[in-house]
């Protein structure tokens, strides 16, 4: 780009816009992650919003839009810490989310994730043939928008309309169901065949529909298999052979067996699926690291200018040292909760800081390579976190045994909590590094300055970290987590599932207390092994046209069906929309039509998620204020006293109409 030096890039207005988008998308991702166990990539929606806003300024450019999406992409990454941190509440160690510790651990870990991947940029982005799917897609959108700006900005306006329409549908529906409570939030069907209980619930949620549109057909079919194995086979089998000594209702008995037994099998399946994904990636990861070292060594002489576009080595070193000092200080604050000798408290702080740096650096390189190979969204962050949790737990167990920490009052609970706290930091490092190289690939394709992108991502990480604690606190007080309700009498059916955090808590508690029921976990591990073999055969005999995702099957078992069903509906809708397009379009226009449909689907799906998520946060704030002032648990509820059948029917019709509207928007002119 010859006129690159004349283009605006890192500007105050761009940073301000990126900050606002980061705040909104971080809050949305925290809510969605706690509800369904997944987050959405925020780069592309952020780019669309940025293009629509900045086109009002004549001197705006593609590079400025790129900075905004780079900064906002931190929202989808730093929010991944909710896969671990709520476990501290579930264990009873925390009663809330202290802002100082939460903010500093997320910010310092995220900044380390950025710094650790910068030395890999030349080898893994500039000279690598890795596809970087999301990075390339973001670059295509930015380039298209730049052309569109000179043609009146029609495409960027249409993109914003899709985002806004999706947000309005989901937010208004969520307000009517969870706020005004004039519509039902789902339906449950239960029947008995002899002594076997068959039950299935489905929630009405446009955010879950959007999540299904994003995960695609393969993930949706895999989750469907998990639902069938759980509610079509596992629950009916156990209800038919196990006694019901408390004479529970058919539905309550089925749910008790799912929570106490079958859900553990789902956790085992998730664990083996995530770990296997990492094992499969190990060879290309090692190859990529070796290639990085060779290229860096061979290119020392011609890298002078290129290195000047990154943060300098001295800048990286100072930022890294400052981050590690913050981590050490936060660990010291955490360790002070237990009265132990100064020597051992110092050893815990030092060991935790070293583990964060060493494991974090290895995972940063691994995640960066995986992001380039299969994309940030498909990278097995949960599997990496599970492995890091086990390693950290074993190190702390050895340290605690040597220092007699387990004999201290509250010692075992402290070590369990400190393991999860350290894993939260490692998760922050891994998740940000998972995104950083993807953004740098986008920047390479649009001729941006890597150094300015790195500055923007650090800013986005810090801004996102500021939101984590308040949003977690609000959502916890508004809805609660499984087995961890902040007040008596709360509706546990509204609790946010936090599936990964629940799994992490079970694993760490099982390691330190040896009280985990391994029978069903081993059954899940065995099922995961069978699914891995089935996936290998399926890919081989269909030449990779079809696949099974063991991790998604595990989620189908582990998550309640009220969550799974609508996600599956969204995934199947994306499949039928693609099939419809194939039948409608001529061969020469099919590729372009599929690309346009994918953009529309991703944008309206992001809108559906953001709208309901933000409404969920707003309602939680209102509920928390109401409770603190001595008010009602349902301050916005309207008492219409309508028959349940009528309310359920009206809700179902409204939800179906909303789904039809979404499908028509995705279809567009086709």
Q: How far is the C-alpha of 132 from the C-alpha of 375, rounded, in Å?
A: 6
Please, what is the angle between helix 644-667 and helix 561-584, to 10°?
A: 40
pLDDT class of 4 with cuts at 50, 70, 90: very low
Q: How far apart are alpha carbons 662 and 101 in whole angstroms?
A: 41
Given a cut of 50, is residue 203 above it in pLDDT?
A: yes
List the alpha helices (DSSP H) in 480-586. Answer: 499-513, 518-541, 550-558, 561-584
Please state, in angstroms and rounded to a whole number, the distance separating the CA atoms of residues 213 and 211.
5
**For 437-454, what is the mean pLDDT?**
83
Instruction: Report residue 187: phi and psi, to 5°.
Output: -145, 145
Determine the average pLDDT of the residues in 64-73.
84
Q: Which residue has the tokens 């079970």?
A: 506
Helix (DSSP H) and strand (DSSP E) numbers for the chain: 25, 2
**pLDDT at residue 307, rounded to an integer:** 42
Stated as kind and residue range, the H or E segment containing 462 is: helix 450-479
Q: How many CA atoms lie within 13 A of 401 on its CB side?
A: 7
Share of the chain above pLDDT 70, in %: 85
On the CB side of 506, CA atoms within 13 Å amount to 25
Pairing of strands 186-193, 196-203: antiparallel
**Cα-based torsion angle of the residue sequence 463, 388, 436, 608 in order, rounded to the nearest 10 degrees:** -60
Distances (CA, A) of 372 to 79, 257, 562: 21, 41, 34
Q: What are phi and psi of 188, to 5 degrees?
A: -125, 130
Q: How confident is the model at residue 369 (pLDDT cuts 50, 70, 90)?
A: low
In the chain, what are the helix, strand and coil shares in percent, each to the nearest 5?
75, 5, 20
What is the pLDDT, as a whole number, of residue 239? 95
Q: How far apart are CA 353 and CA 112, in angstroms?
A: 12
Look at residue 372 in the predicted model and tell me its pLDDT.
Answer: 65
Instruction: Say how far residue 68 (Cα) sits from the centre of its chain.
Output: 20
How confident is the model over 631-654, as pLDDT tens digits?
Answer: 676 788 888 888 888 999 999 999
Distance CA(430)–CA(70), nearest Å, equals: 17
pLDDT band with cut points at 50, 70 and 90 for residue 304: very low
Backbone phi, psi, residue 203, to 5°: -95, 155
For residue 50, CA distances in Å to 60, 106, 157, 610 come to: 10, 25, 11, 16
Q: What is the pLDDT of residue 152?
A: 58
Average pLDDT over residues 162-167: 86
Comparison of pLDDT for 3 and 358, the residue scoring more = 358
Lowest-confidence region among 252-256, 281-285, 352-356, 388-392: 281-285
Average pLDDT value over all residues in the chain? 82
**DSSP character at residue 545:** S
Return the structure tokens found at 643.
């028959």
* Token digits of residue 188: 């449950």
In this structure, are residues 203 and 562 in contact, taking their beta carbons and an 8 Å threshold?
Answer: yes
**Per the structure block, which two tokens stand in for 262?**
């079958």
- What is the pLDDT averaged over residues 519-524? 87
- What does the block give as tokens for 433? 């590094």
pLDDT higher for 148 or 85?
A: 85
> What's the average model confidence in pLDDT over 330-350?
90
Q: For residue 421, is pLDDT > 90? A: yes
CA dihedral 55, 57, 63, 69 (to 10 degrees): -60
Does residue 443 or residue 310 have the better pLDDT? 443
639 or 290: whose pLDDT is higher? Answer: 639
Highest mean pLDDT among 60-64, 267-271, 274-278, 650-654: 650-654
Q: Going by C-beta distance under 8 Å and a sequence separation of 6 or more, which residues neighbour residue 282?
A: none
Name residue, tokens 């529909």.
209
For residues 96 and 90, what is the distance between their CA atoms, to the nearest angstrom?
A: 10
Residues 6+ apart with CB under 8 A from 663: 573, 577
Those residues whose C-beta lies under 8 Å from the C-beta of residue 630, and which sit 6 or more positions away, are none
Q: Which pLDDT belongs to residue 236?
A: 95
Residue 295: the pLDDT is: 53
Residue 319 pLDDT level (bands cut at 50, 70, 90): very high
Give the list of residues 6+ apart from residue 545 with CB closer than 8 angstroms, or none: none
Which residue in the block uniquely carries the two structure tokens 């052309």? 147
pLDDT digits (tens, 9 = 90+) for 376-407: 555 556 666 777 888 898 899 999 888 888 88
Contact of 531 with 550, CB cutoff 8 Å: yes
Report pLDDT digits (tens) over 574-600: 999 988 888 888 777 888 888 888 888
pTM of the model: 0.73
- Of 152-161, 162-171, 233-242, 470-479, least confident by mean pLDDT is 152-161
pLDDT for 129: 65
Mean pLDDT of 295-323: 67
Residue 367: is its pLDDT beyond 60? Answer: yes
Query: From CA 34, how far away is CA 198, in angstroms rounded?
Result: 27
**Contact between residue 115 and residue 457 where contact means Cβ atoms under 8 Å apart:** no
Helix crossing, 99-117 with 411-445: angle to 10°?
40
Distance CA 557, CA 554 (A): 5
Residue bearing tokens 């639902």: 227
Q: What pLDDT does 506 receive?
A: 81
Is residue 376 within 8 Å of 435, Cβ to Cβ?
Answer: yes
What's the CA gap between 565 and 428, in Å, rounded?
Answer: 30
Three-class secondary structure of residue 190 per DSSP:
strand
Do residues 449 and 140 make contact, with C-beta atoms less than 8 angstroms apart? no
Does position 527 have pLDDT exceeding 90, yes or no? Answer: yes
Strand partners, 597: none
Helical pair 12-36 and 43-54, crossing angle rounded to 10 deg: 150
Which pair of structure tokens corresponds to residue 567?
Answer: 């996600």
Break the chain into its structural domains and give their ranges.
11-165+275-494, 171-263+538-667
């Amino acid at each position: 780009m010859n006129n690159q030096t004349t283009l605006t890039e890192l500007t105050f207005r761009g940073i301000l816009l990126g900050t606002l988008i980061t705040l909104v998308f971080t809050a949305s991702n925290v809510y969605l992650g706690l509800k369904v166990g997944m987050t959405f990539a925020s780069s592309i929606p952020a780019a669309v919003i940025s293009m629509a806003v900045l086109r009002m300024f004549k001197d705006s450019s593609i590079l400025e839009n790129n900075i905004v999406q780079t900064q906002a992409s931190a929202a989808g990454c730093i929010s991944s810490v909710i896969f671990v941190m709520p476990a501290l509440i579930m264990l009873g160690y925390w009663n809330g989310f202290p802002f100082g510790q939460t903010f500093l651990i997320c910010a310092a870990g995220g900044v380390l994730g950025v710094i650790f991947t910068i030395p890999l940029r030349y080898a893994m982005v500039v000279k690598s043939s890795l596809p970087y799917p999301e990075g390339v897609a973001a670059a295509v959108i930015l380039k298209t928008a730049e052309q569109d700006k000179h043609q009146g900005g029609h495409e960027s306006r249409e993109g914003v309309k899709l985002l806004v329409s999706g947000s309005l549908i989901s937010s208004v529906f969520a307000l009517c169901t969870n706020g005004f409570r004039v519509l039902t939030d789902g339906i449950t069907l239960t029947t008995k065949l002899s002594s076997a209980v068959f039950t299935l619930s489905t929630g009405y949620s446009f955010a879950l529909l959007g999540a299904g549109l994003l995960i695609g057909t393969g993930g949706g079919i895999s989750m469907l298999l998990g639902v069938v194995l759980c509610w079509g086979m596992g629950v009916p089998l156990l209800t038919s052979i196990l006694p019901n000594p408390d004479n529970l209702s058919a539905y309550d008995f089925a749910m008790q067996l799912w929570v106490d037994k079958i859900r553990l099998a789902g956790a085992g399946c998730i664990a083996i699926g995530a770990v296997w994904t990492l094992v499969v990636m190990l060879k290309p990861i090692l190859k990529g690291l070796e290639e990085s070292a060779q290229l860096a060594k061979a290119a020392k002489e011609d890298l002078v200018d290129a290195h000047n576009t990154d943060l300098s080595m001295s800048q990286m070193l100072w930022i890294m040292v400052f981050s590690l000092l913050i981590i050490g200080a936060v660990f010291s604050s955490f360790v002070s909760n237990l009265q132990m000798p100064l020597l051992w408290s110092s050893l815990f702080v030092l060991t935790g800081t070293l583990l964060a740096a060493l494991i974090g650096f290895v995972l940063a390189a691994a995640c960066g390579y995986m992001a380039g190979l299969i994309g940030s969204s498909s990278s097995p962050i949960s599997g990496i976190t599970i492995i890091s949790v086990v390693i950290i737990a074993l190190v702390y167990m050895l340290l605690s045994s040597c220092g007699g920490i387990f004999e201290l009052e509250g010692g075992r609970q402290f070590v369990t909590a400190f393991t999860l706290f350290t894993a939260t930091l490692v998760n922050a490092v891994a998740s940000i590094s998972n995104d950083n190289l993807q953004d740098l690939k986008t920047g390479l394709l649009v001729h941006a300055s890597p150094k300015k992108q790195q500055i923007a991502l650090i800013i986005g990480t810090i801004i996102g970290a500021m939101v984590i604690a308040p949003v977690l606190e609000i959502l916890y007080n508004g809805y609660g987590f499984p087995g961890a309700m902040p007040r008596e009498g709360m509706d546990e059916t509204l609790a946010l599932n936090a599936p990964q955090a629940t799994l992490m808590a079970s694993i760490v508690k099982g390691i330190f207390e040896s009280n985990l029921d391994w029978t069903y976990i081993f059954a899940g591990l065995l099922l995961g092994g069978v699914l891995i073999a089935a996936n290998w055969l399926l890919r081989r005999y269909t030449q990779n046209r079809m696949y099974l995702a063991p991790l998604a099957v595990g989620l189908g078992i582990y998550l309640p069906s009220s969550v799974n069903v609508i996600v599956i509906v969204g995934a199947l809708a994306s499949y039928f929309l693609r099939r419809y397009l194939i039948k409608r379009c001529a061969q020469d226009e099919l590729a372009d039509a599929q690309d346009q449909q994918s953009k529309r689907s991703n944008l309206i799906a992001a809108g559906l998620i953001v709208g309901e998520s933000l409404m969920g946060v707003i309602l939680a704030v209102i509920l928390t204020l109401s409770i603190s002032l001595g008010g009602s648990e349902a301050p916005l509820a309207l008492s219409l006293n309508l028959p349940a059948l009528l309310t359920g029917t009206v809700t179902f019709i409204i939800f179906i109409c909303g789904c039809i509207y979404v499908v028509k928007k995705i279809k567009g002119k086709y």
